[in-house]
Structure 1
Amino acid sequence: MDQQLLLCGAILTVCGVLKKKLITSLKKKKKRFWMRNLLKSRKMHGASNTLCANLNPALECDVEDHDNFFRIPKNLFDDLLRKVEKRIEKKDTLFREALPARLKLEVTLRYLATGDSYKSLYYLFRVSPSIMSSFIPEVCDALYDALADYIKVPNTEQKWMDIKTGFQLKWNFPGCIGAIDGKHINLRAPACSGSEFYNYKKTFSIVLLACVDDDYSFTYIDIGAKARYSDGGVFSNCSLKRAIDDGSLNIPAENVIVADAAFPLQNNIMKPYPGNNLTTRQKIFNYRLSRARRIVENAFGILASRFRIFEKPIANNVKNTIKITRTSCALHNWLRKNDSNYLEPGLADYEDISTGITINGSWRQVPLRNFEDMGEDNTLTENGTTIRDRFADYFSSEGAVPWQTRFIH
């Protein structure tokens, strides 16, 4: 009798569970369609087959239209597609046609060029946001790998000498082989990150540390340091600092990288004299160093002006934000070498040597945060101090330029 009661109780329990599952399944919203009508109309009304197809100089379209839409000229877009096409294309399945490689590249470049939300791009290209969130990081990886050779730290004396000659001729700083600085790349607050990515401007960001040559191109990038770390900490832990210290870069003796007050003064790193009560000699050195160092600020500004995704917090996770940033840097270098119109008039800073006035470039309207407000790095080395004094003496004597005293107010 007891066994029968137990069996009946077990049967009733199972029936109750099955009843609940049946009720739950009936309450679930029935899926209305396999594919939204908006997505079905991609081939007919999507931007790739309509707007983008007409952004072609061969169709008597204004040459600037393609450049403005993708921030890349048509001929270079086609070259870029050839570089990544095989890596980003997928095979069709029995259920769906794969998205064309051209469409993926168009969506990715438009995303980098504008920073538009996936939802906005969905209405333009008729591609679902979930699919875009999957393939945009993949396309970024493919672009970076294809263009990685355009971001390389020189490792021979001859390559360093080429950059040195450029700084001497263009920026009047002999012995300079690069300019280094860091910028904060703003992003949406990462989930469960606490204050790790919270910076001194009360926004969330990761750090882009970069060294630039004499022609606004990045020779080194380090991306992803958490914003809560100090500027000195970011530089001290980067691979460039280790390579400088161990001598593996083959930097010629007494050649230097110029930096601002946030960096340490070393035999290969020059920064300005600190304080306000400076001698004329020290002010001249600070001006000449600032003139050479400004090129890295301008490189950041040109990058952000071309790829407007950096104008506002990037709505993506940290991993993808790193991919977006490094890909943009590689594209910047590639375009700098291949697009003669990449550096638009008025975009970079300009010095009027007749009046002693620096005219800011239009890029300065872009909100990239630098390190300067985070305090100075007071680390000094004896060799660094000696070399800085030697430069100061040279700039005030045989190395003087006629206009330098106009800029030391």
Structure 2
Amino acid sequence: MKCPKTAEEWNCVAKRFASKSNHFICVGTLGGKHVAIKKPKGGGSLYFNYKKFYSIVFMALSEAKYRFLFVDVGAEGVAGDGGTWQKCNLARAITYNRAGLPQDRSLPNNDEPVPFHIVADDAFALKLWMMKPYSHQSQDPTERLYSYRLSRTHRVVENVFGMLQMRCESSGR
């Protein structure tokens, strides 16, 4: 696993998303998975998550070929996905322009430059470099199409989590 550090490496990731899912200037799909643990001694409620069990958070950024680019494991379950992401090194690097993301680029058939971005779900805060589906139920047709396409791209990270879980279960872990 190697997280891109240069604009050229991030461009390669974005090209794979463009060819696989027709989603341009996407540099990864982000998600979190709660891994169940026994209640830690002295842990109090720090590890008790919103799903009502004790966990640590496994945060991952994946690419179009179903591989992890970045992982952060071990945050307390109470932090959730969004809270865990805000504290991780990659989020800080992107926020402070130290991740090497390419310069904004125009989408096909458009002259307006758009930032390279990560696709996430509702657990994460919307940023210029973090896209997520509309959350309100009364979406107009354009918003519904946008949300569908973004969610379709986001499924990559969910599928990678599923493949990892199946691999662990088949090996007896």
TM-score, normalization by structure 2: 0.88
For 2:120, the aligned partner's letter is: A
| CA–CA distance in structure 2, aligned partners of residues 228 and 309 of structure 1 | 29
- In structure 1, the partner of 2:32 is 182
The higher radius of gyration belongs to 1
Aligned to 2:78, what secondary structure does the other structure show?
coil
Is contact 1:304-1:310 (8 Å) kept?
no
1:200 to 31, 50, 57: 50
1:154-233 alignment runs, 5 A limit:
154-233=4-83
Q: CA RMSD in A?
A: 1.7
| CA–CA distance in structure 2, aligned partners of residues 309 and 226 of structure 1 | 27
- In structure 1, the partner of 2:111 is none
- Offset from partner CA, 1:269-321 (integer Å, 9 cap, x none): 0011121100100000001101111000000000000111899xx8xxxxxxx
| CA–CA distance in structure 2, aligned partners of residues 251 and 219 of structure 1 | 14
| CA–CA distance in structure 2, aligned partners of residues 299 and 310 of structure 1 | 17
Q: Which runs of 4+ in 1 moved over 4 A?
A: none
**Aligned CA distance change for structure 1 residues 310 and 241 (closer, same or farther; 3 Å):** farther
| CA–CA distance in structure 2, aligned partners of residues 286 and 310 of structure 1 | 36
| CA–CA distance in structure 1, aligned partners of residues 151 and 5 of structure 2 | 26
Higher helix proportion (structure 1 or 2): 1
- Offset from partner CA, 1:94-151 (integer Å, 9 cap, x none): xxxxxxxxxxxxxxxxxxxxxxxxxxxxxxxxxxxxxxxxxxxxxxxxxxxxxxxxx2
Is contact 2:57-2:77 (8 Å) kept?
yes
- Offset from partner CA, 1:298-357 (integer Å, 9 cap, x none): 00000000111899xx8xxxxxxxxxxxxxxxxxxxxxxxxxxxxxxxxxxxxxxxxxxx
Is contact 1:185-1:206 (8 Å) kept?
yes
Aligned to 2:98, what secondary structure does the other structure show?
coil
| CA–CA distance in structure 2, aligned partners of residues 237 and 199 of structure 1 | 17
Unaligned segments of structure 1, at least 5 residues? 1-150, 315-409
1:260 to 121, 134, 137: 121
TM-score, normalization by structure 1: 0.38
Higher strand proportion (structure 1 or 2): 2
Unaligned segments of structure 2, at least 5 residues? 105-114
Query: Which structure ranks higher in relative contact order (CA pairs < 8 Å, sequence separation ≥ 6)?
Result: 2
Aligned to 2:143, what secondary structure does the other structure show?
helix
